[in-house]
Structure 1
Amino acid sequence: MPETTETTPASGARIHLENLTKIYPGNPTPAVDNVNLEVKAGEIVIFVGPSGCGKSTCLKMINRLIEPTHGRIRIGDEDVTDMDPVKLRRKVGYAIQASGLFPHMTVAQNIGLVPKMIGWSKSRVRNRVEEMLDLVGLDPREFHGRYPRQLSGGQQQRVGVARALAADPPVLLMDEPFGAVDPITRDHLQDELIRLQHELHKTICFVTHDFDEAIKLGDRIAVLREQSHIAQFDTPEAILTNPTDDFVSGFVGAGAALKRLNLTRVRDVGVVEFPTAGLDDPLETIFDRLRSGSHNELLLLDRNGRPYKWLRRGDLARARESLARAGTLVQHTVSRDATLRDALEAVLTDSAGRAAVTGRRGEYIGVVDMATLMNNVHELLEADRLEAIEHQHQLQERRARQTQMEQEGLAGAGGPEGGPGGVV
């Protein structure tokens, strides 16, 4: 197969599911029944619903890991329902829970598998592997030759995402990809996916049972009932503030206002400027900044510009002996793509009520503090209160109109002589 020379990254493609149905032999009830859904190019759509509702089956029919019984699948302008499923899967990235890496292959071999299969040259595959490792925040020199068993769960998931994106597909399918890792790693992986999407603009269909994850990641959320019937397909804001029925309300659960903390990113709120110093700065320069600044502490950055230690004025005596022995190691940072909920958790666990904000490579950007976060929380709660009042007014107006129409209908139906219906 000739090697493609296209260098422009592929952006997302529209996905259109038309009357998509799956009926398994021996079971008269469809697992997925007549689903019609359109995913816009470049957006993240989350499938969320109870266990057994068919959300993973629906996802796997898009790349035909499960063959549909009826219906059509269109990706971009192409009907892929009848094309060679192997060729289709090489055009669609796929990431699953527990990464699905081949244990006998190195990290580089796993990532380079699909590019190699579609005919890329060795040098292009090699360059792509390094590019993808860097993209998901793993040092190519360190991870290139490792095997999956030598990686942590979070590292395996990053490699799994890198492999899914290696051939630059316009569409990425993700089936509970972060479900098998601990909560802290899960938060970091979610932030990584958000960051990657800002760079790549792929079309992503993502299955989860966690509604908070759906709110955090999704541009739109499809809440599915049994047989993948769509209960509501809308933005996270719309579902939180105006669920269509009790079924959807059950997924939203209590504390909808606080769940909206997952809709706002740290990049959307003001980060606070904070005094910093470098690890290689002269001690006297560091001391002068501590003494003269309005804060009683500063943030010491390592040689890569990453948060390293909080250094307080009370640490000055110990710092004269050695910076290594002074200060408190930075325990929690948040990325610019982290949600306000993530930031609030980090700030609440910090004794001084602040957390360092970092960029893509962990470099220091600023500080987010409790005052900034609480101001945003109050704004969200006030917006919810006003929206609830407006919603109540709209309900009252609708009820008043309905009552008026009913009264006018009764008056019109009764005749002057014959009573109701005008019957004599």
Structure 2
Amino acid sequence: MAEQDIAIEGLSFARQIFEDIASLTKDPAGGYTREGYSAKENEIHDYFKKLGRSLKLEEKTDPAGNLYLTLPGRHRELSAFMSGSHADSVPQGGNYDGLAGIVAPLTCLWWMEKTGFRPQRDVTVLVTRMEESSYFGKPYVGTMALTGKLRPEDLQLRHRTRNETLGEAITRAGFRPEEMVTGRPLSDLGGIAAFVELHIEQGPRLDSKPVKRIGVVTGIRGNLRHKAIRCVGETAHSGAVDYEFRHDAVLATAELLMSMEKHWIHRLDRQEDLVFTSGVVKTDPSASITKVPGLVTFCIDMRSQSMGTLERFHEMLVRDTDRIAKKRGVRFEFDKMLRTECARLNPRLVAKIANTAAAHGIPFLVMPSGAGHDAAVMANAGVPSAMIFVANQKGSHNPNEDMKIEDFMQGVKLLLLLIENYDL
């Protein structure tokens, strides 16, 4: 069977891409770093352009820098089947987050070119820009621009470590930020019949399954985030100031986070979908062992499949900061909240993926996505969208991502079957 052959013969093609990108983006400090709108991200896109030319694919780049590589179909008047993901990464991340979703459809197109198969409709690989929010606090920049959802104020977001705005970074990378915030899509969204993003699962569920190593995703959590909340207390001498006179920013922040954890557990007990994280907590640069800390800066990331749940949980956060501020004589200063809508994937397309897997003996698990993805932006823009998950070992957003190539090739096989049978 052709789909069996791709799982075997396509392995070397796919593995070579993973190895090439790994060598291009290895971080001396560990892991892989592919910052969005950087020279390194441009280098990766150039690599994929060269690969696309070797496969005789049509090539297009939009004003945001998103790359489209297309295998023409037999009926070009039909809307295209699109599959892809992002080429960037978090700092010192793994090699498979995002990249797997580019390599998978490219492997399918390599196989079609090798076997002389021509699909009914165009098949396009989309390589998006800056999906990760690690540097500017804004996720999905490429797809937000593509769908006409990026806002002018987003371009003013500042880099986390250097004095540069997002707009300046985009310009430095060679693209046109002013064309990304017009409110109009950068491409004809009506010309996309389906968008399917293959991605590593970024949690342990699939890897805990001995047989069901593929996930068919039903929906994607949205999130509410604060990049930098400040707790402002009063710096004092650690030995000379007694408890009743202290305005300790660390203890106030700790009390807030523990209180929010209790609220979180209560929500889970009520069967609500919710996760809550504070991934960065830091004191003032002048803090020392002999000082009562007067300043703490921390971030908040809350996610759910229900925006209502998120809004209510955020209200609890605000109420708790007011209560703790009065109790401890501190104040909490909020930066602007960043909001990403949850996404319900297209039921017909999700069912088609599940039915295709079942018909061809590919064991799978039906599951939601806890992490956000470009597919969420496409779905919320009205593009019929779905996702395929592949098991991944040792977590994600760290250097230890360890996706087994055999699991990945099962995902490639399913994607190929979906493309081949899409119009049947």
Assess same fold via TM > 0.5: no
TM-score range, shorter chain: under 0.3
Under a length normalisation based on structure 2, what TM-score does the superposition of the two structures give?
0.23
Under a length normalisation based on structure 1, what TM-score does the superposition of the two structures give?
0.23
Greater relative CO, 1 or 2 (CA 8 Å, sep 6+) = 2
**Larger Cα-atom Rg:** 1
By percentage of residues, which structure has more helix? 1
